[in-house]
Structure 1
Amino acid sequence: MPFHFQFPWLPNNPTSSSSSPTKPPSPAIPNPFLPIQAGLASFLSSLPLPRAPFPPPPWARISSASASAASASALPVAEIEERLAGVPVYALANSSQEFVLVSSARGGGGGGGGARAAVPPPALGLLCFRREDADALLAQMDGDMAAGSTVVPIALNKVIQLKSDGVAFRFVPDSSQVANAMKLMENEGQYVNDGFPGVPVFQSRSLVLMSDNKRYRPIFFRKEDLDNSLHRASRDQQKPNPAVKMGDIQVSSLENIIKSMKDSSSSKWDDAVFIPPGFDLATSSKQSNHDN
């Protein structure tokens, strides 16, 4: 039986609208970590979003050719974005509030390509999950490009839909969490010779959030945050459950989860909530008690 955490700050009844009190609200997923994410989200949303230095609409949403076919089964984009609110990533922006882009080392040149050979290689906009990694990128820039450039935090829910012609946005995961993920995979007999494919996230079948008799699955960006949450849950259990293992941790990639949310039935992920890096369930409870 999994550990259960109660979250009393979630309303028992969704906030009703005075315009149509008789209409039941849509079954949007409440965010159990809204009190934690509120400060981060408000700070991040107040920051100017860097622009891509290209004339077409720089921040168009990614279009989906099969959107009409998938809309009935996929989670709405707004719902996915809500779950990622308050999770920061870090990018480089110049003095004109444009993304500092990295040119791809491939492409551009050679052989027999005709019209295809003239297509310029894509530029990369790098989004780091650790500020230290973004600071390191800034330190590696040459003097002219580095002048006026700075590291800016951006909310993850604002960047998962970013698209610009000629630009490919790429996440730079925390290398320590990649190592954690690969070690867990090796312990399960899975060997990935080419590294972990994406941004690793961690969850446990032994950890469940409860609110208004509903179950939610917390997904962590740092294994240490999940470990702390499991430790606290084990310590606070009145009747220890020997069936629950502290090492019961599963690894997924953020990209695969988001893709599944967009493409698959919502029933698979309608219980998932993302925990910002550096927060655990013990932190969330202290924050909730302080706010109350």
Structure 2
Amino acid sequence: MDFLQWKNNNNNNNKPPNINLHQTLAKIQTQCTDFLQTLSKPLHHHRQTLETLICHAKTTLSSLNCPSIPIQNQGLWARIGAPQPQHRFDIALSFDAIEERLAGVGVYVLSNSADEFVLVSGVPSKKTLGLICFAREDAQTMLDHMRSVSKGMGPKSMVVKIALDKVIQLKLEGVSFRMIPEPAQVQNALKVKEQAGLSNDEGFFGVPVFQSQSLFLKAEDKRYRPYFFRKEDLENSLKRAAEQQKQLNPAFRQGDIQVATFEEVLKGMKGKSTSKWDDVVFIPPGFDVTAGLPQNKANG
């Protein structure tokens, strides 16, 4: 069984304590709906695996911690309607284009008193693990428990919010990770799969993102498909758009809401053929895409 030790870069003379993986994350398993069972097995239902986060010990949050950039809704409005045929070239999106679409989405990491990532190392695997949470509450739960089992987690250790595009930058710099989704959204994803007649026997792997076949955004002459990290935000957007455009709420239609994994979408955006993903934008939790919706364009 692998054990964990804290990555402590400021004091190389003191050997960090070895911490059993299950002991360290026991409280997280209880309060965050069993995020992991072991590092070597896939997680089922509403548990989320942790993938190795490989980075230098001196990687500081000062280069990563930037305010979340909200999506500008000026000139951007939501519509309900069937997607129109559109020719797309099979070319990969540039990194800048992907980064721009992720800039408004915040995730949470742990930092120590030196503004460094809190990392744990596997023994004997030598792999370094980092935890990226979509919910502040999950990150805070981990921080509280880590403080209780490691002296290296002092009172100045904290939960830090960073923009998701910065996480993608880390990925390009050789950082490998898998993010921990909100347990409630994993449950929502399982319900969507069940409503679509799909089996939930193998659970749900990855960070769920939700979209509707009926909702799209329009900015100038381009149409975008919004992907939501929270199903409730998508449902609220559909409801408001339907009310403002005096149409039947499409959320009532069976199968209108679909779920995918963020990892799958991101992989598609990076691939050689992006015909399926080149019109995707990610909506930060709590963001209202119907703000400023022009009612006179309901049928436009």
TM-score, normalising length from structure 2? 0.62
| Structure 1 moving runs of 4+ over 6 Å | 55-59, 164-167, 241-244
2:292 maps to which residue? 285
User: 2:250 and 2:162 mapped to 1: Cα distance?
Assistant: 42
- Partner of 2:120 in structure 1? 102
Residue 186 of structure 1: how far off its partner (Å)? 1.3
Matched, 1:159 2:167: yes
Q: Deviations over 1:5-60 (max 9, x none)?
A: xxxxxxxxxxxxxxxxxxxxxxxxxxxxxxxxxxxxxxxxxxxxxx954379999x
Residues 153-198 of structure 1 deviation map (CA, whole Å, 9 limit, x = unaligned): 0100010231599964220100000000011101112123343110
Alignment partner, residue 81 of structure 1: 99
Q: Which amino acid aligns with 2:132?
A: L
1:236 CA drift (Å): 1.6
Question: Could you say what secondary structure the match of 2:199 adopts?
Answer: coil
Structure 1: gaps of 5 or more residues: 1-50, 60-71, 109-119, 287-292
Residue 192 (structure 1) aligned with residue 210 (structure 2):
no
Match of 2:127 in 1: 122
Aligned in 2, Cα 1:161/1:184: closer, same or farther, shift over 3 Å? same
- Partner residue of 1:215? 223
CA contact (8 A) 2:190 2:204 kept: yes
Equivalent in the alignment of 1:245:
253
Which residue of structure 2 aligns with residue 230 of structure 1? 238
Measured in 2, the distance between the counterparts of 1:124 and 1:242 equals 42
Output the amino acid matched with 2:131.
Answer: L
2:144 counterpart SS class? helix
Aligned position for 2:27: none
Measured in 2, the distance between the counterparts of 1:238 and 1:82 equals 33
How many percent of aligned residue pairs carry the same amino acid?
53
Inter-partner Cα distance in structure 2 for 1:165 and 1:221 = 25
Matched residue, 1:29: none
Residue 241 of structure 1: CA displacement? 8.2
* Residue 54 (str. 1) matches residue 62 (str. 2): no
Q: Identify, as 1 or 2, the structure richer in helix.
A: 1
Question: Is residue 162 of structure 2 the alignment partner of residue 182 of structure 1?
Answer: no
- Number of residues paired by the alignment? 210
Partners of 1:197 and 1:243 in 2: CA distance = 24
Equivalence for 2:268: 260
Q: Counterpart in 2 of 1:145?
A: 152
